Structure 1
């Protein structure tokens, strides 16, 4: 399919990235919009959108019929140097959760060349009326039904612990392009405590956590919106709002109307027939519902028995239990003599690597006129230095960085920056978000 896309904007974490998984780092970010008020203003920046080339496989839009409850298919891709799982995920319409859970043996930020990446581009549609928008919190994925014949699906970021995205039925009550964000007092206090005070209003632009499009919901203080930290999609990172990649929220914004119904559910276990195969898609219940896991699994087993009985099929219960234990979101056949995940992955079509992954960071060259910022930490491992550089490159807005050899070890150098103030601002963000010291370097030091 063809998807409209905008130039990349990136991410921001907290504490040592080499000791804490990146998903946990991002979960502690202040990137939501709970209890906010905002208004639209004339667009001060011309936003240029490009068209992503046709993909070999469907990634967002799928045909539907009344009896079809599963769409898409698996695929694989061989990684290249400097790829990250986040870049691959975004290019193919997946979230961080989708791709990391489907590839548990791979380091998300330091992929080896020619690693085989499983792309879990198959989805079971939630058990809900196919009207408007259905959001399943359990797999952090939105399904939009423009009509009875098709569905569009997008990965999302949702509310973190303590700021949960609410369940229930609501609707889109407004549409705002280029929104300005009036920062709630609670978030002001959080930033003040971190020594990072915010202005009362953040205008439209790269520093606005709402991105360039926002759609308030009937739930007061909650919105569907874009983000200036796209690599948090597929994580619990917001103050309760629903975030989409910038390119996805623009597509959705253009298609939905005010009054479009929005139903938010939590369905970690999904089952559906595709032809003669019964599939189970299992996700880890979110923390808020973890205590209900046994009951949810019991209900799922009952549903599987009912679905199998309808066609006089025989369930492979060890496969059911293995899929529940894996909880990686990959739809897996669970009938006797059906293929396992390894066989499915081996049979999946291998895609040709695109010339460049969409949104992949492009790092400018340092020259004699550029300021830079040197990270104080010295790494004996090239891999560890590469991880930190990759995380900095995926900040929002980005901090361009690369690893450099240094007396038999490795360091990380950020830049180029046009001015000393930009280099100092980068050093401050690195200290605040990673608890790592960094020092600006004058052009002559590069």
Structure 2
């Protein structure tokens, strides 16, 4: 059975040339050196999987959080990819996995797409190119809203005014309200901020980069200082921003493999449909007209034990005594 039709070499070459030209316009030095800039990936002509995982070795004085920042990874992602490695005191010589492979969110490839459960931002900056960066989102009680908006005003060295919720909390404790913080090292917005069409919500930097990749904000999108600075210089005002919450993703790679990627769910966005049933729907949409042999046990495991790692859902075709639906096999497998 043919799972996917591969593009012709000629079309692949043309696509690669166009994408390379786009990258050259973004960062001429990196393009000359034959390397893509930080966070940049070329889009394949088919498939929705980008990047590859790789490993690095811990050096004296490194923390896992330091390594994550150097390699464009957030706190939770590096922790889940290396569950047996100490975050703050890994042994020198330890091999660390860098989770650098992603399934693109199921959303139009336009402007900025933010996937809340994934704690990751995607920016379709040029034809054939996508950029992706780790982010922090709203913590429990201050959930970042899902919806479609756009960038408005960009501010360098912003002042930070404490939100009403912080002033109310201080008053409840009998404490004086927090004061406006001028630009500088104590400013929680960092040096760059991009305002959104959603009132009081921003994409901004931080003075605590070790928290990037966690749910720690009051609803805003936080980024590493170097990442927001890069976007600040290049994202035009009026750029579409699509905020989605997709804890489970499934898609074909360019070479015809069906992958899934699952993240811990945000409880405030949990609907009435069970997670396993949502996963069935996502995988069914990825099938298209094909009905490939799916490893249902792995699908169940991905949903029940989300760790952000890509897993193949395909298995070798085996004769079955009776044909069953995807739903039936998942339910029967739990009995």
Name the TM-score, length of structure 2 as normaliser: 0.79
2:53 equivalent to 1:74: yes
CA contact (8 A) 2:276 2:300 kept: no
What is the root-mean-square deviation in Å for CA atoms of aligned residues?
2.7
2:266 equivalent to 1:266: no
More divergent stretch after superposition (316-325 vs 236-245): 316-325
2:226 equivalent to 1:247: yes
2:89 equivalent to 1:148: no
| CA apart distance, 1:277 | 1.0
Could you tell me which runs of 5 or more consecutive residues in structure 1 were left unpaired when the two chains were aligned: 5-50, 339-446
More divergent stretch after superposition (210-219 vs 187-196): 187-196
| CA apart distance, 1:320 | 1.4
1:208 and 1:55 mapped to 2: Cα distance?
Answer: 37
Number of residue-to-residue matches in the alignment: 288
2:291 and 2:250 mapped to 1: Cα distance?
Answer: 16
Instruction: Give the equivalent residue in structure 2 for 1:286.
Output: 266
| CA apart distance, 1:149 | 0.9
Matches within 5 A, 1:303-342: 303-308=282-287, 310-337=289-316
Q: Deviations over 1:275-317 (max 9, x none)?
A: 12110000111121346461x4313223324534634521111
Q: 1:176 aligns with which of 149, 155, 174?
A: 155
Assess, with a 3 A threshold, how the Cα gap between structure 1 residues 165 and 181 changes in structure 2: closer, same or farther: same
Instruction: Give the equivalent residue in structure 2 for 1:101.
Output: 80
Assess, with a 3 A threshold, how the Cα gap between structure 1 residues 193 and 79 changes in structure 2: closer, same or farther: farther
User: Which ranges of 4 or more aligned residues in structure 1 deviate by more than 6 Å?
Assistant: 54-58, 192-196
2:175 and 2:210 mapped to 1: Cα distance?
Answer: 21
Q: 1:208 aligns with which of 175, 182, 187?
A: 187
Structure number with the higher strand fraction is: 1
Q: Deviations over 1:148-202 (max 9, x none)?
A: 3100101001111111111100011100011111223432354577798565321
Q: Deviations over 1:97-154 (max 9, x none)?
A: 1110111122211212222211110011111111110000011100001123100101
CA contact (8 A) 2:39 2:133 kept: yes
Assess, with a 3 A threshold, how the Cα gap between structure 1 residues 293 and 93 changes in structure 2: closer, same or farther: farther
Could you tell me which runs of 5 or more consecutive residues in structure 2 were left unpaired when the two chains were aligned: 1-22, 318-335
Name the TM-score, length of structure 1 as normaliser: 0.60
CA contact (8 A) 1:315 1:336 kept: yes
Assess, with a 3 A threshold, how the Cα gap between structure 1 residues 309 and 325 changes in structure 2: closer, same or farther: same
